[in-house]
């Protein structure tokens, strides 16, 4: 995943360069990967898709294979226990922690 190094490098840039970059290329700092899936899921849950994009950007930098030291998995960094609980209340087919690496299951 190339976003995490990009986000870190961006922080070290001079302010005027940051401003130009955000104006000319906002998609570099605010990616829209998985747009269709996020919009569909957000609509179904009646939440703003921007909320989902912001969680994914912060938690995994859009790396679907992200895994944290506390064993949170995937794009939204879900704990397996939460994934299991949420799957009971939705039509998401979840059976093991590695399923959370699948963006369709994680989102």
CA 66 to centroid of chain Cα atoms: 10
Active centre residues (catalytic):
59
Closest among 90, 88, 89, 67 to 79, alpha carbons compared: 67
Measuring CA to CA, which residue among 78, 55, 102, 62 is closest to residue 70? 78
d(CA 53, CA 35): 9
């Amino acid at each position: 995943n190339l976003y995490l190094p990009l986000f870190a490098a961006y922080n070290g840039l001079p302010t005027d360069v940051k401003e130009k970059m955000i104006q000319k290329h906002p998609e570099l700092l605010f990616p829209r990967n998985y747009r269709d899936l996020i919009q569909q899921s957000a609509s179904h849950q009646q939440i703003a898709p921007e909320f989902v994009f912001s969680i994914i950007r912060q938690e995994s930098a859009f790396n679907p294979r992200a895994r944290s030291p506390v064993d949170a998995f995937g794009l939204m960094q879900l704990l397996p226990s939460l994934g299991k609980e949420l799957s009971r209340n939705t039509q998401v087919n979840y059976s093991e922690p590695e399923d959370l690496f699948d963006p369709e299951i994680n989102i």
